[in-house]
């Protein structure tokens, strides 16, 4: 009789120790907390923001590293933890990943100028000056998260991710924390849809399989999409099974930093923006999109992101209007 926990990672904890420290210089202005800590994201046991530092895990060519980001007077400090000595070149890869994932090379000067002349955006931009869109995870990992978000309430999405990490992720120990690293695409590509359905993923089980097969077959996909413009990148992303319009705009902004990726707005966002823009409950999505386009042009998604992050931040402080 097969124990259903067989071939899981339960019980194994991978110890990682400090191997190197990097110091990176983001472009100015840079807002550390606003960039690395997004209260709008649901919590997962893959990362934590603790005592002013972001802790998360990363896969590099299949092996797992733990990362701690913190702000120092000299710049952004990156502590790198690993299970063994880093291979040659690993630090360069890690630096490149961190720079990209947290949009450290962003040029926000025109956005700051735009916001200064805007009574709606201005006060919020000043509060968060230097905040960038960011995602600590790889494209594949972020798509796994967005699939869990589809057609589900947040609590259910959290359960799906929890179940997946518990079964297919790797638990690590570093810096006194236990954080999960994601599974690699090849792992899920070989799991049957039936097994995935056991984790209460519903019809998304098929998406997880197809997405994992896609990335297992195209490990350089994310790297190839990074330099593309918005429409080309979007076209590439839409080739992936399970990535529709909602997921696509989300990826274009959070992962690929296209500050104008506001061409689709979901129902719940429409509600909130209706209030902010027009002081009504239910404006039409197209009116919301048009408003942002006319007001902020190329910067419209970044502007909307500032509005949302500010709202979520206020809510996390217990003083939101909703």
Token pair of 182, please?
């994601």
Task: Output the smallest distance, CB 51 to DNA, in A.
Answer: 26
Cβ nearer to DNA, comparing 114 with 148:
148
Going from the C-alpha of 308 to that of each of 40, 168, 274, the distances in angstroms are 8, 32, 13
Cβ nearer to DNA, comparing 82 with 196:
196
Task: Output the smallest distance, CB 155 to DNA, in A.
Answer: 6
Task: Output the smallest distance, CB 273 to DNA, in A.
Answer: 13
Hunting for tokens 């949009």 — which residue is that? 103
Q: What are phi and psi of 171, to 5 degrees?
A: -80, 135
Cβ nearer to DNA, comparing 69 with 201:
201
Cβ nearer to DNA, comparing 12 with 268:
268
Q: CA–CA separation, 137 vs 59, rounded Å?
A: 9
Q: Omega into 198 within 30° of 0, i.e. cis?
A: no
Count other Cβ atoms within 10 Å, centred on residue 166.
16
Task: Output the smallest distance, CB 282 to DNA, in A.
Answer: 12
Token pair of 143, please?
């798509």
Tell me the sheet residues that pair with 67: 56, 80
Cβ nearer to DNA, comparing 36 with 243:
243
DSSP letter at 183 equals P
Task: Output the smallest distance, CB 197 to DNA, in A.
Answer: 5
Binding residues vs DNA (CB under 7 A): 40, 42, 146, 149-156, 159, 197, 200, 202-204, 206-207, 240-248, 266-268
Task: Output the smallest distance, CB 218 to DNA, in A.
Answer: 16
Cβ nearer to DNA, comparing 122 with 244:
244
Q: CA–CA separation, 221 vs 233, rounded Å?
A: 11
Q: CA–CA separation, 15 vs 175, rounded Å?
A: 10
Task: Output the smallest distance, CB 105 to DNA, in A.
Answer: 26
Q: Which residues contact 227 (CB under 8 A, 6 or more apart)?
A: none
DSSP letter at 83 equals S
Using DSSP, state whether 53 is helix, strand or coil.
strand
Q: CA–CA separation, 121 vs 304, rounded Å?
A: 9
Task: Output the smallest distance, CB 148 to DNA, in A.
Answer: 10
Q: What are phi and psi of 90, to 5 degrees?
A: -60, -40
Cβ nearer to DNA, comparing 189 with 240:
240
Cβ nearer to DNA, comparing 181 with 248:
248
């Amino acid at each position: 009789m097969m124990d259903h926990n067989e071939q899981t990672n339960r019980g194994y904890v991978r110890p990682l120790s400090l191997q190197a420290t990097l110091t990176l210089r983001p472009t100015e202005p840079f807002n550390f907390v606003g960039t690395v800590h997004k209260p709008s994201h649901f919590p997962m046991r893959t990362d934590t923001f603790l005592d002013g530092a972001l802790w998360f895990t990363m896969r590099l060519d299949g092996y797992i590293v733990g990362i701690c980001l913190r702000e120092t007077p000299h710049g952004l400090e990156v502590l790198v933890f690993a299970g063994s000595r880093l291979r040659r070149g690993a630090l360069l890869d890690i630096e490149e990943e961190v720079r990209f994932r947290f949009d450290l090379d962003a040029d926000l000067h025109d956005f700051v100028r735009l916001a200064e002349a805007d009574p709606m955006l201005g006060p919020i931009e000043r509060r968060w000056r230097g905040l960038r869109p960011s995602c600590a995870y790889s494209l594949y990992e972020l798509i796994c998260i967005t699939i869990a978000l589809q057609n589900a309430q947040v609590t259910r999405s959290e359960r799906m991710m929890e179940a997946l990490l518990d079964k297919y992720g790797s638990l690590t120990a570093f810096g006194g924390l236990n954080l999960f690293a994601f599974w690699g695409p090849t792992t899920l590509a070989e799991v049957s849809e039936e097994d995935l359905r056991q984790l209460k993923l519903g019809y998304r089980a098929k998406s997880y399989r197809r997405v994992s097969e896609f990335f297992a077959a195209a490990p350089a996909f994310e790297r190839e999409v990074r330099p593309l413009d918005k429409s080309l990148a979007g076209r590439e992303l839409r080739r992936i099974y399970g990535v529709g319009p909602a997921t696509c705009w989300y990826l274009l902004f959070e992962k690929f930093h296209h500050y104008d990726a506001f061409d689709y707005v979901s129902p719940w966002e429409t509600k909130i923006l209706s209030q902010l823009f027009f002081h009504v409950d239910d404006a039409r999505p197209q009116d919301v999109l048009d408003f942002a386009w006319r007001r902020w042009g190329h910067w419209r998604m970044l502007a909307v992101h500032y509005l949302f992050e500010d709202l979520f931040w206020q809510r996390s402080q217990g003083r939101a209007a909703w």
